Amino acid sequence: MRDNFWLEQRLDHIWELLFPDLERKNKVHIYFKGRWKNKFGHIKMLRDRSSEIVINGLFANEIVPEYIIDTTIAHEVIHYMHGFQSPHEQRYKHPHAGGIVTREMKKRGFSHWLVREREFVQRHWFPIYRELVPTPFKKKKKSFFSRLLG
Ligand SMILES: [Zn+2]
């Protein structure tokens, strides 16, 4: 089951295997949250100086391939590495300056997964999103009642 404990283990594995040189300078939390259509994750530094990685809560559903979670985790870990929302020294002016995240992901062995991710976003994500977050009937109901009344 994909719960927050599973997600924590996933982060640890990715960190150990693919970012062994990256020092974890503070506590890094990770959990599923939100039901976003256009956002896969984010990283934020909290007031207690720990960092919080959030992964789109819809990805807890096993209809979403695991590599989407992996690429999202790696993306946020790279922001951490570059000193965004982390105690590391900030290396760039902007977190997505000049494709720095993509470049680092390729360096860390994610080239193949980036291709799969793009494919997933282009072909599968929006239908899955519609399935997981159905639009409420509100509008329909309203017109039904207005028809009754009118
Ligand atoms: Zn980003």
Instruction: Supply the pLDDT for residue 142.
Output: 55
The chain-wide mean pLDDT, for the chain, equals 93
**Around Cβ 97, how many Cβ atoms within 10 Å?**
11
Instruction: Report the separation in Å between the CA atom of 84 and the middle of ligand 1, taken as the mean of its atom positions.
Output: 10
The C-alpha atoms of residue 59 and residue 103 are separated, in whole angstroms, by 24
Sign for the CA dihedral angle at 113, 119, 121, 126 comes to: negative
Instruction: Supply the pLDDT for residue 60.
Output: 97
Domain range annotation of the chain: 4-149
Instruction: Report the separation in Å between the CA atom of 144 and the middle of ligand 1, taken as the mean of its atom positions.
Output: 43
Instruction: Report the separation in Å between the CA atom of 100 and the middle of ligand 1, taken as the mean of its atom positions.
Output: 10
Instruction: Supply the pLDDT for residue 37.
Output: 95
At 146 the three-state DSSP class reads helix
Burial call 110-125: b when 16+ CB within 10 Å, e when fewer:
beebbeebeebeeeeb
Instruction: Report the separation in Å between the CA atom of 85 and the middle of ligand 1, taken as the mean of its atom positions.
Output: 11
| pLDDT higher than 90, residue 93 | yes
Instruction: Report the separation in Å between the CA atom of 125 and the middle of ligand 1, taken as the mean of its atom positions.
Output: 18
Instruction: Report the separation in Å between the CA atom of 131 and the middle of ligand 1, taken as the mean of its atom positions.
Output: 26
Please name which of 78, 76, 66 lies closest in space to residue 113, comparing C-alpha atoms: 66
> Per residue in 127-149, pLDDT tens?
999 999 988 765 555 555 555 55
Instruction: Report the separation in Å between the CA atom of 136 and the middle of ligand 1, taken as the mean of its atom positions.
Output: 30
Q: Which helix (H) or strand (E) holds 19?
A: none
Architecture of domain 4-149: 2-Layer Sandwich (3.30)
Instruction: Report the separation in Å between the CA atom of 60 and the middle of ligand 1, taken as the mean of its atom positions.
Output: 20
Q: What is the 3-state secondary structure (H, E, C) of 37-86?
A: CCCCEEEEECCCCCEEEEEEHHHHCCCCCHHHHHHHHHHHHHHHHCCCCC
Instruction: Report the separation in Å between the CA atom of 41 and the middle of ligand 1, taken as the mean of its atom positions.
Output: 8
Instruction: Report the separation in Å between the CA atom of 93 and the middle of ligand 1, taken as the mean of its atom positions.
Output: 13
